[in-house]
């Protein structure tokens, strides 16, 4: 019998949260899902994977284990591909191998990305009021958020690998929410409903800005005693929070108020980006586009801004405002400054723009842009205008579809935080060259006193929270660390569960 080569696979999935969307069908290349729910970059690990029908399709219904497996792979793949398309290059994970998807990791109302385990993990929680099992693997909102963590960790592993500030964790949460919003807006059914609900005025209440509604409902019923209305969502991008230094905020606060806890604090940046999206949409409609066209154009611009802001942004975040600055930089580079007015007005109103002047980029043109680590390391010198540099090693080289090349260098060294207590910090240098070899981007992040102080503060806070653990001596090869010896103390609490090394007395 002749074997039929299947190239297109039909898959049922939910384009948003189960509480607000109905199943839709997507056609994917067979290579993205395979015959055992495994693509080139992601793999479902859930016991026996769902089997396709005779035509190679995965047309299961919500509520079934098979649907949840296929849905989680589709939503995660879509999120990754959108950011890769926006950047014009593959985004290698912050680990070797494929991202493992665990649709049924445990019981409860939770989900998380874990770099050490190369995984995104989803829980099933019983809503005792509705008597329904809330499966995180059925919600694009939850899946895209966790995939967003993995994407950001791949692009900027230092945000969780090195001490910076607690605002780095907040940006991680915001990026996950923005990944959800931008992924859902690529579904035609979601766009139709958004136009119907808002007419293009995105500051009207809508289900795209509200995130993880079913999970929120379950938490409300089980953990909050039903104290919130049934349409309450844990995070709503359509908000009015403005920046306040975390030190001036409580550790925890009711959902309607701001706290320094990363999920709560993240809403400042997410809300600012939603405002920008809304303003872009308004401007597009003013120029004659209908509401749907206006939203699509704004969505595409926001995707490129978010993706390139990370690529141009810091490797060790100190303040949320640095990412606002990076969005302005991305707009100048990739949109010829088209959105400077909107970005500046919104970010200033939200208290996110820093007062620092933009770093000047020296005039430098290379006949040949480095394509290997030794070539990249040989490039370093006074011509970059930074003076003598430490022994930086080339960490990554990325070339995109525009012909741009980004070189990222790091150098790790041990610093003392308190007498007897130390950790590792990294100096980091990022360079961007255009297709003609001209340097257009340079970001130097030394190990300065501010970096050491931020690390000291984080260790102090995490120690008070009991997040410093002791382990039996073991290899530190899986940590981003300066030494190749052993460790006994480590810090837990960063996004992705990253273990940050802290050498403590007696450890």
Kindly tell me if the per-residue pLDDT of 496 is higher than 70: no
Query: Can you give the pTM of this predicted structure?
Result: 0.91
What's the Cα-to-Cα distance from 204 to each of 140, 194, 238, 271, rounded to whole Å? Answer: 22, 10, 8, 13
Percent of the chain with pLDDT over 90: 64
The arithmetic mean of pLDDT across residues 425-433, rounded, is 92
Domain of 391 in residue numbering reads as 373-503
| DSSP structural state of residue 173 | H
* pLDDT-derived band at 480, boundaries 50, 70, 90: very low
Tens digit of each residue's pLDDT (9 = 90 or more) over 1-24: 233 344 689 999 999 999 999 999
Burial (CB count <10 Å: 0-12, 13-18, 19+), residue 207: buried
Tens digit of each residue's pLDDT (9 = 90 or more) over 407-416: 999 988 888 8
Kindly tell me if the per-residue pLDDT of 228 is higher than 60: yes
Cα 446-155-190 angle, rounded to 5 deg: 140
How far apart CA 9 and CA 31 sit, in angstroms, is 9
How far apart CA 295 and CA 281 sit, in angstroms, is 5
Of the candidates 389, 424, 419, 394, the residue with the CA atom closest to the CA atom of residue 406:
394
What's the Cα-to-Cα distance from 47 to each of 103, 123, 124, rounded to whole Å? Answer: 10, 15, 16
Summary mean pLDDT of the chain = 88
What pLDDT is attached to residue 362?
85
Structure tokens at 42: 């992601």
- Which long-range contacts does 444-451 make (Cβ < 8 Å, 24+ apart)? 444/359, 444/386, 445/314, 445/315, 445/316, 447/413, 447/415, 450/318, 451/163, 451/164, 451/316, 451/318, 451/425
In the listed set 138, 155, 172, which residue is the last one of a domain according to the structure? 155
Give the ranges where 267-320 is alpha helix by DSSP (H): 267-286, 291-312
The arithmetic mean of pLDDT across residues 74-91, rounded, is 96
Query: Is 199 part of a structural domain of the chain?
Result: no
Tens digit of each residue's pLDDT (9 = 90 or more) over 305-322: 999 999 999 988 889 999
* pLDDT-derived band at 159, boundaries 50, 70, 90: confident
Query: Is 173 part of a structural domain of the chain?
Result: no
Query: Is 309 part of a structural domain of the chain?
Result: no
What pLDDT is attached to residue 231?
87
Percent of the chain with pLDDT over 70: 89
Per DSSP, the three-state class of 20 is coil
CB 269 within 8 A of CB 170: yes
Query: Is 228 part of a structural domain of the chain?
Result: no
Kindly tell me if the per-residue pLDDT of 205 is higher than 80: yes
Query: Is 335 part of a structural domain of the chain?
Result: no
How far apart CA 267 and CA 249 sit, in angstroms, is 14
What pLDDT is attached to residue 158?
82
* pLDDT-derived band at 484, boundaries 50, 70, 90: very low
Query: Is 492 part of a structural domain of the chain?
Result: yes
What pLDDT is attached to residue 498?
57
In the listed set 108, 124, 155, which residue is the last one of a domain according to the structure? 155
Tens digit of each residue's pLDDT (9 = 90 or more) over 351-384: 998 655 566 788 899 999 999 999 999 888 777 8
Query: Is 381 part of a structural domain of the chain?
Result: yes
Query: Is 473 part of a structural domain of the chain?
Result: yes
Kindly tell me if the per-residue pLDDT of 476 is higher than 80: no
Q: At 436, phi and psi to the nearest 5?
A: -90, 5
Q: Where are the beta strands (DSSP E) in 81-200?
A: 99-107, 111-114, 119-127, 132-135
Kindly tell me if the per-residue pLDDT of 147 is higher than 60: yes
Burial (CB count <10 Å: 0-12, 13-18, 19+), residue 332: middle
In the listed set 128, 155, 182, which residue is the last one of a domain according to the structure? 155
How far apart CA 353 and CA 320 sit, in angstroms, is 9
- How many structural domains is the chain composed of? 2
CATH number of the domain to which 7 belongs: 3.10.170.10
């Amino acid at each position: 019998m002749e074997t039929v080569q299947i190239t297109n696979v039909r898959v049922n999935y939910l384009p948003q949260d189960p509480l607000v969307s109905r199943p839709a069908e997507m056609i994917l290349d067979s290579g993205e899902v395979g015959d055992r729910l495994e693509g080139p970059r992601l793999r479902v690990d859930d016991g026996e994977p769902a089997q396709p029908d005779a035509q190679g399709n995965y047309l299961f219904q919500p509520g079934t284990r098979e649907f949840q497996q296929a849905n989680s792979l589709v939503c995660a793949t879509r999120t990754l591909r959108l950011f890769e398309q926006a950047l014009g290059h593959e985004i290698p994970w912050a680990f070797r191998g494929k991202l493992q998807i665990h649709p049924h990791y445990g019981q409860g109302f939770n989900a998380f990305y874990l770099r050490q385990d190369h995984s995104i993990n989803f829980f099933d929680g019983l809503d005792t009021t509705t008597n329904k099992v809330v499966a995180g693997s059925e919600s694009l909102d939850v899946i895209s958020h966790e995939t967003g963590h993995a994407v950001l960790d791949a692009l900027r592993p230092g945000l969780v690998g090195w001490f910076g500030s607690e605002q780095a964790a907040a940006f991680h949460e915001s990026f996950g929410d923005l990944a959800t919003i931008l992924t859902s807006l690529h579904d035609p059914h979601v766009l139709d409903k958004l136009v119907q609900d808002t007419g293009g005025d995105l500051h009207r209440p809508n289900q795209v800005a509200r995130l993880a509604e079913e999970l929120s409902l379950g938490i409300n019923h089980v953990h909050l005693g039903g104290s919130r209305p049934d349409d309450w969502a844990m995070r709503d991008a359509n908000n009015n929070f403005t920046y306040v230094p975390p030190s001036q905020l409580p550790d925890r606060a009711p959902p309607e108020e701001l706290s320094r806890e990363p999920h709560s604090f993240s809403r400042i940046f997410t809300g600012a980006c939603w405002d920008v999206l809304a303003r872009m949409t308004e401007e597009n409609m003013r120029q004659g586009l209908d509401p749907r066209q206006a939203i699509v154009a704004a969505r595409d611009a926001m995707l490129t801004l978010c993706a390139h802001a990370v690529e141009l942004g810091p490797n060790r975040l100190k303040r949320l405002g640095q990412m606002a600055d990076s969005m302005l930089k991305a707009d100048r580079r990739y949109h010829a400054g088209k959105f400077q007015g909107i970005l500046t007005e919104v970010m200033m109103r939200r208290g996110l723009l820093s007062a620092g002047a933009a770093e000047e980029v020296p005039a430098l043109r290379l006949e040949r842009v480095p394509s290997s680590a030794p070539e990249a390391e040989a490039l370093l010198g006074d011509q970059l205008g930074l003076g003598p540099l430490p022994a930086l090693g080339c960490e990554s080289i990325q070339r995109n579809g525009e012909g741009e090349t980004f070189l990222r260098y790091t150098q790790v060294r041990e610093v003392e935080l308190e007498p007897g207590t130390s950790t590792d910090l990294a100096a980091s240098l990022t360079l961007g060259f255009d297709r003609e070899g001209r340097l257009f981007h340079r970001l130097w992040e030394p190990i300065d006193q501010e970096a050491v102080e931020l690390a000291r503060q984080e260790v102090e806070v995490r120690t008070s929270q009991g997040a410093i653990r002791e382990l039996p001596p073991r290899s530190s090869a899986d940590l981003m660390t300066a030494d190749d010896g052993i460790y006994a103390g480590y810090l837990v609490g960063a996004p992705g569960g990253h273990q940050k090394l802290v050498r403590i007395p007696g450890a």
